[in-house]
Amino acid sequence: MPTLDEELFPSTPGKFKIDHRSYGINRQFYRFFASTSTMFLWALFLIALTVSYLSFQSFVDSSTRYLSASWGGLQWEKQVRTSAEIHRAGGMSVLVTGASGFVGTHVSLALKRRGDGVVGLDNFNNYYDPSLKKARKALVNRHGVFVVEGDINDARLLDKLLDIVAFTHVMHLAAQAGVRYAMENPNSYVHSNIAGLVTLLEACKSANPQPAIVWASSSSVYGLNEKVPFSELDRTDQPASLYAATKKAGEEITHTYNHIYGLSITGLRFFTVYGPWGRPDMAYFSFTRNILQGKPITVYRGKNKVDLARDFTYIDDIVKGCLGSLDTSGKSTGSGGRKKGPAAYRIFNLGNTSPVTVPALVRILEEHLKTKAKKNILDMPGNGDVPFTHANISSARVELGYKPTTDLRTGLKKFVRWYLSYYGYDAEQP
């Protein structure tokens, strides 16, 4: 016996004939209501199918995100907690952002060596060769530091880390570095140095307990200042580059969070940091590479053909200042985003106090590499660089016990030794 569907939708259209004489008005009503009911049932079926598909797709998307995420899960949380464990009396647990960067790697190792708990965070961007960052990560991993791969703008990740571990301190070193690159990709500086900083501060001000924060500003904030040596009391409202402007903005932003939320904050103005595991975009690094490869280097001069000079500061001296800042930072005073009392807000210069000209730097490298450089001497372009830097470190000496001990010749010798080893050169035959 045929079903209702078979009657209404025959399998052979055109062969089904209606005998109008055998049907009256009741049959017409029956067909109308039957057709309407069937359409309604089909509509319900399609709606249910759509809902099921969307639910399944949502499940697949969620599963894909979970499986592809670089953080999360019980094993991941265990690694974070283990890395954050403190192994000395009176020690601290520190979240180090930019932990696979130049300074971040050295600070993480120094903290771990003395028994502090350390968890790293880095996004491994490609501003310079990520393989160097991966090598640094492997280095700190061997010393028990777990580095989470993630972005400083990921609020969920930051909240998760601060929830898993009650960090006593945050060492914020993640940033988009480089003065000249800001002319090519300005948005990356706003994304990392401003938006990323705010995301971190938001997470820290809501944490309970609030961690104390030490972060990397820059000597670039002194901009067009001509008074030397540069003091923390000098004007910093004339930046010469977008990079400098974002670091200056960071100082104003951190002051606001200190004032409103009671976060203990220390800003460090680094002066031209160099040394092993350094950044390939820095002059001393690229000079070394080009000299060894027999390629010319470009040496810029300032106005009136005056040599450029920098307050080159060896990485170990910078690390001393970073650890001294963490040790003396004092506690944040807020809770749940509410300030309960005044907290420390400090800014320090970390430099060597002995500026050296760029031509003198090249001569030292030539001696260590036993190779003469091919030099192109050009006038400094208007790309945001400044003609000289010179740090006044009297405040850091008094409050942090900061005392740089490595001169440029000694520091470059250590860097060259590392460079030849890392890139596989024969020290006697570069």
Cα separation, 375 vs 47, in Å, equals 74
SS3 167: coil
**Region label for 304, one of left (φ > 0), alpha (ψ between -120 and 50) or beta (otherwise):** left
Distance CA 362, CA 298 (A): 11
Q: Inter-axis angle of helices 315-327 and 102-113, to 10 degrees?
A: 60
What CA–CA distance (Å, rounded) separates 105 from 173? 10
- Contacts by 404-409, CB closer than 8 A, 24 or more apart: 404/313, 404/314, 404/317, 404/320, 404/351, 404/352, 404/353, 405/316, 405/317, 406/314, 406/316, 406/317, 406/352, 407/352, 407/354, 408/312, 408/314, 408/352, 408/354, 408/356, 408/360, 408/361, 408/364, 409/364
User: In angstroms, rounded to a whole number, what is the distance separating the alpha carbons of residues 377 and 108?
Assistant: 38
H-assigned helices in 115-219: 130-142, 155-164, 186-189, 196-206
Half-sphere exposure of 81 (CA within 13 A, CB side): 9
CB 391 within 8 A of CB 350: yes
Catalytic pick among 189, 243, 261, 274? 243
Q: What single-letter amino acid sits at 182?
A: A
**How would you label 17-33 residue by residue, b for 16+ Cβ within 10 Å and e otherwise?**
eeeeeeeeeeeeeeeee
Phi, psi of 118 (to 5 degrees): -140, 130
Q: In angstroms, rounded to a whole number, what is the distance separating the alpha carbons of residues 410 and 276? A: 12
CA distances for 38 relative to 11, 16, 43, 303, angstroms: 17, 19, 9, 87
Q: What are phi and psi of 121, to 5 degrees?
A: -140, 130
Cβ atoms of 340 and 262 within 8 Å: the answer is yes
Q: Is 53 a catalytic residue?
A: no
3-state secondary structure 104-123: HHHHHHHHHHCCCEEEEEEC
Positions annotated as catalytic residues are 243
